[in-house]
A and B are shown apart, each in its own frame.
Chain A
Amino acid sequence: MTGLYTGALELGTLDAISRRDSPAHRLDPRAKLIATAAFLVTAVSWGRYEIFGLVPLAAFPLVLCAAGRVPFGFVARKLLIGAPFVLVLGAFNPIFDTAPRELAFGIEISGGWISYLSILLRFGLTVGAALALVAVTGMNPVCAAAERLGAPRIFVSQLALLYRYLFVLAAQVQRMQRAAALRAPGRKRPSLALFGSLVGHLLLRTLDRAQRIHLAMRCRGFDGQIPLLRAMRFGLVDAAFVAGWIAFFAAVRFFDLPELVGRLVVGAWG
């Protein structure tokens, strides 16, 4: 449970970074959202054994972070939080897929290991890009941009409310956990029974709060749609940003860039 708390603290950091000012921050949220969506589509469009073709894609999150002065270490730490899921999920590949395949330069290993590596790489790329997007845009502008681009309003409001109350929930978890820990000195973690009770209470309190929030919304005329008043300007720079990245993704996808670069280098030597 302390894990959730530190997670929320880090979320605060993400929030703070997203309110800085930089060339990347100043871009229209829609431009960044479209570019990221194109990036994600490109990243998942390859076959399961692809590794080297994916590598140039890393330019997108790296450039976004660099231009937005987002510390790489911060994004890397956030990636590690999600990593166990992927590590476990992909771990079956090497067990079931043992047919040997060529990795590169005539080196052969089993196909399962190659697809496992590919999954890890894609995890790093996609989640890294999503984190970079939020870090240089902010969660709420991302939501607003999604709405402007035609995403269903109900999903957008859900996402915005989820993000808003993550902080409140984390603080509540922390208080409950502290209250339990203070009355059980010498116990490192709560017993299963206590944990069940804490989680149950948390659920009930969350439901109560949700009801109060809903009432507060109804009192101010809420009718199912959350209205937002926000000006966005999609300028030339934004268009160039989107076009440039889509061109880059297309190039990475349809030409084998690493091989081209390799041939150029070899050609220069030869």
Chain B
Amino acid sequence: MSHHIVEAVGLSFSYPDGTRALDDVSLRIEHGESVAVVGANGAGKSTLLQHLDGCLAPTAGTVRVGDYPISKATLAAVRRSVGMVFQDPDDQLFMPTVFDDVAFGPLNLGLPPEEVEARVARALETVGAAHLRDRPPYRLSGGEKRAVAIATVLSMSPDVLVLDEPTASLDPRSRRQLIALLAGFAHTKIIATHDLDLALDLCGRTIVLQGGRVAADGSTAELLRDRERLEGWGLELPLRLQGCPACGGARITEGGGGRQ
């Protein structure tokens, strides 16, 4: 169980309407790595993520998680080790109360009630949402929903966390708290995001997708500093590496970024 590698080989996928979303994608993510998947809208980020949890089956190629190639027979085991946080928390929180929602996964794993209770309490504690436990999910704010959605996955004790746009529609403080929370996790993390500053903060490695292909795969600090290549991929410099509008547009360049 010490090798939670995630590996895709020659992965291609076309949607039923003929749209080719992924084209011969190969990547290997090692245990404990934190990887950002970036790219313009429609580059294939969400499609790639959905393959890592067996939500979509590849048209060609294979995906391996840990020791298992993803197939019908291994799906349950794969989903136990990969925790997927969806882009829209309303899709993820379908149970009557926050408690029920966080307990949903552990109960499906067949764990005894006391263990479920303990796991729910721990997961909610971790994301700072213990006080929301008896609330219905549709009454929560955007930030609270996001935190609870992450707790629903944590309660299953996954080895790999896959997050789709975790900071979308969060206010700056909630975003900051979420980044701090994610930074504290030892899991292997795969994060699809448009928030390149988040990638700088959390991910040592970045995979750039463009038109369904891997356009670049390397160190975040290097890739996201390269203005010309970024623009070629339909992206822009992370905000903190852009010029400061208040002090006359002076541009902070080489070496100005990095971790805070």
* A residues in contact (CB < 8 Å) with B: 15, 139-140, 143, 160-161, 163-165, 167-168, 209, 212-213, 215-223, 226-230
B116: Cβ under 8 A from any A Cβ: yes
Are B79 and A220 neighbours in the complex by a CB distance under 8 Å?
A: yes
The listed residue (B97, B108, B136) touching A220 by CB distance below 8 A is B108
Closest 9 CB pairs of A and B: A221-B108, A227-B107, A140-B96, A220-B105, A212-B91, A167-B138, A216-B92, A219-B84, A215-B55
- Known contacts A209-B91, A216-B94; A221/B76 CB under 8 A: yes
Contacts of A230 in B (CB 8 A): 100
Contacts of A223 in B (CB 8 A): 108
- Name the residue in B92, B96, B136, B152 with the highest tally of chain A Cβ atoms < 10 Å from its Cβ: B96
B103: Cβ under 8 A from any A Cβ: yes
**Considering only CB atoms, which chain A residue lies closest to B87 in the complex?**
A212
A189 to B137, CA, bound (A): 33
- Known contacts A15-B136, A217-B94, A221-B80; A212/B108 CB under 8 A: no
- Name the residue in A218, A220, A226 with the highest tally of chain B Cβ atoms < 10 Å from its Cβ: A220
Contacts of A140 in B (CB 8 A): 96-97, 136
Contacts of B109 in A (CB 8 A): 221
Tell me how far the C-beta of A222 lies from the nearest C-beta in chain B, rounded to whole angstroms: 6
Are A212 and B96 neighbours in the complex by a CB distance under 8 Å?
A: no
Are B113 and A229 neighbours in the complex by a CB distance under 8 Å?
A: yes
From DSSP, what is the main secondary structure of chain B's interface residues? Answer: helix
20 contacts between A and B (CB under 8 A): A143-B96, A160-B96, A168-B138, A212-B91, A215-B86, A215-B91, A216-B91, A216-B94, A218-B79, A220-B153, A221-B76, A221-B80, A221-B105, A221-B108, A221-B156, A222-B108, A226-B104, A227-B108, A229-B99, A229-B117
B90: Cβ under 8 A from any A Cβ: yes
B95: Cβ under 8 A from any A Cβ: yes
The listed residue (B53, B83, B116) touching A229 by CB distance below 8 A is B116
Tell me how far the C-beta of B106 lies from the nearest C-beta in chain A, rounded to whole angstroms: 9
- Name the residue in B97, B109, B138, B152 with the highest tally of chain A Cβ atoms < 10 Å from its Cβ: B138
A223 to B109, CA, bound (A): 10
- Name the residue in A15, A165, A228, A229 with the highest tally of chain B Cβ atoms < 10 Å from its Cβ: A229
Contacting residues of chain B (88-141) with chain A, CB-CB under 8 angstroms: 88, 90-92, 94-97, 99-100, 103-105, 107-109, 113, 116-117, 136-138
Are A164 and B138 neighbours in the complex by a CB distance under 8 Å?
A: yes
**Considering only CB atoms, which chain B residue lies closest to A163 in the complex?**
B96
Contacts of B152 in A (CB 8 A): 220
A141 to B244, CA, bound (A): 55
Are A216 and B86 neighbours in the complex by a CB distance under 8 Å?
A: yes
Are A221 and B79 neighbours in the complex by a CB distance under 8 Å?
A: yes
Q: A165-B94, A219-B79, A230-B100 are in contact. List 6 more A-B contacts (CB 8 A).
A: A212-B91, A216-B91, A220-B79, A220-B104, A229-B99, A229-B100
Contacting residues of chain B (138-153) with chain A, CB-CB under 8 angstroms: 138, 152-153
Contacts of B97 in A (CB 8 A): 140
Are B96 and A164 neighbours in the complex by a CB distance under 8 Å?
A: yes
Contacts of A167 in B (CB 8 A): 138
Tell me how far the C-beta of A208 lies from the nearest C-beta in chain B, rounded to whole angstroms: 10
Contacts of A160 in B (CB 8 A): 95-96
Contacts of A164 in B (CB 8 A): 94-96, 136-138
Contacts of B113 in A (CB 8 A): 229
Contacts of A218 in B (CB 8 A): 55, 79
Tell me how far the C-beta of B189 lies from the nearest C-beta in chain A, rounded to whole angstroms: 16
Contacting residues of chain B (16-31) with chain A, CB-CB under 8 angstroms: none
**Considering only CB atoms, which chain A residue lies closest to B155 in the complex?**
A220
- Known contacts A218-B55, A220-B79, A221-B108; A212/B94 CB under 8 A: no
Are B103 and A229 neighbours in the complex by a CB distance under 8 Å?
A: yes
A216 to B100, CA, bound (A): 14
**Considering only CB atoms, which chain A residue lies closest to B116 in the complex?**
A229
**Considering only CB atoms, which chain B residue lies closest to A222 in the complex?**
B108
Tell me how far the C-beta of B113 lies from the nearest C-beta in chain A, rounded to whole angstroms: 6
**Considering only CB atoms, which chain A residue lies closest to B101 in the complex?**
A220
Are A229 and B107 neighbours in the complex by a CB distance under 8 Å?
A: yes
Contacts of B84 in A (CB 8 A): 216, 219
Contacts of B90 in A (CB 8 A): 168, 209
